[in-house]
Every structure is written in C-alpha cells, then in structure tokens.
Amino acid sequence: MTRRERQELIDKGLLLPLMEEFYTIQGEGFHKGTAAYFVRIGGCDVGCHWCDVKESWLAELHPPTATEKIVENAIKHSDTIIVTGGEPLTWDMGPLTAQLKAKGVQTHIETSGAYKLTGEWDWICLSPKKMKLPTDEVYNKAHELKCIIYNKDDFKFAEEQAAKVNKDCILYLQPEWSKRDKMMPQIVDYVMANPKWKVSLQTHKYLNIP
C-alpha cells in the first residue's frame, strides 16, 4: 500500500491510529462501575496541559489499524465499546461505529467535541476544553457533560458549558487528578449549593486499573 493509498483510507475512517485497546471498568461519569472495552485513538491538538495521556497526541506514533480489526477485537470482550483518545473526532468515526452497531453493541464516545460529530453513538460524554470549544451539534446531542476542575475559575467555565447543552444532559464536575485533594472540598461545596451538578471521580485510579 502506498502512502497516498493509506492516507485515503485514514481520511475515510477505514484506518484509524490505534494507540491502545483494553477491557476494564469505566471509572468516570454516568456509567462508572460498568465493564467496557476501551478503544483509544491517537491524535489530538486540543492540548490540555493536565492531560494524562499526552502520548496520544501525535497520531503518527500509532499504527493505522483497519476498523474491521478493531471491531473484531472489541466484540470478543464486551457489548459496550467506549471510544476515547486523544480526540477521536479528529477522524471520521462513521465506519467504525457502523460496524460496531452491525454487531449489536453499545457505542460510547468520550470527546472534547471540538470537531464535527461523526458516527452513531448510544452515549456521548462531552468534556469541553477552553482551548477549542465544542460544536453546537455536540452540545445538542451530549448525554453527559463532564467538566474538569483544575482551579476555581473552572467552575465559571463549567456553568458556561452547562448553559449550552440540551436539557436532558447530565452534569458532572470532576477534579483534575493531581489537584484532587485541593479541589474536591470545593467541588463538594459547589454541588451541594448547586445540586443540578453531580460529582464524578476517576474511580479506576482508586481501583488501580486502566
């Protein structure tokens, strides 16, 4: 396969830069505690300084992998597949989710929403970032909003984002892991004063699992 042919398949979403895939327990948000198969796609230019998977940023470090192979591996383990990144919407998610849905599994995505929403999703976890805000379409379709709290200013940003999502979207505040001891008491107080919000924790890190 030539470089041009490979790039054409990547552009069509038939090849995706696969960083890693693993079966574990969802640690965050609405589906925490649920067994699921994670597919982590490389490539992200949003650039969160506190990102805990910065090795995912450069897509060229991760091998272009056929969506058929990704699907084949995923359905062996779970009927809930969570696509994360990086930023998976950097790529066309249509072919991947079409194949997953054809196998009868649930498709979830974790995204900043900064790029066009592609793919067919049973659950969209929107985690917006200040550097590149989500598209209107993602705001309208998100099932949960997960705002990361790194400092006190992030509460204001969270409220701005909550005002943009649909009325059925579940709202979560989650402490950035390295700041959890400092920010968690503030999050608790904030949620008690503003009970439309819920607390999300990275419980997988407490469980010491991926």
Q: Annotation-wise, does 128 bind a ligand?
A: yes
129: annotated binding-site residue? yes
**Residue 86 among known ligand-binding residues:** yes
180 annotated among ligand-binding-site residues? no
Structure tokens at 190: 């904030």
DSSP 102-171: HTT-EEEEEE---S---S--SEEEE--BTTBPPPHHHHHH-SEEEEEESSTHHHHHHHHHHTTS-TT-EE
Residue 210 in marked binding region: yes
Q: Is 24 annotated as a binding residue?
A: no
25 is in an annotated binding site: yes
84 is in an annotated binding site: yes
48 annotated as a binding-site residue? yes
Residue 44 marked as a ligand binder: yes
* Six-digit token string for 134: 């989500």
Known binding residue 147? Answer is no
Annotated binding residue 52: yes
Helix, strand, coil percentages (3-state) for the chain, rounded to 5, are 35, 25, 40
Backbone φ and ψ of 18, nearest 5°:
-85, 115
Residues placed in the known binding site for substrate:
25-27, 40, 84, 210
Residues placed in the known binding site for S-adenosyl-L-methionine:
50-52, 86, 127-129
Residues placed in the known binding site:
25-27, 40, 44, 48, 50-52, 84, 86, 127-129, 210
Residues placed in the known binding site for [4Fe-4S] cluster:
44, 48, 51
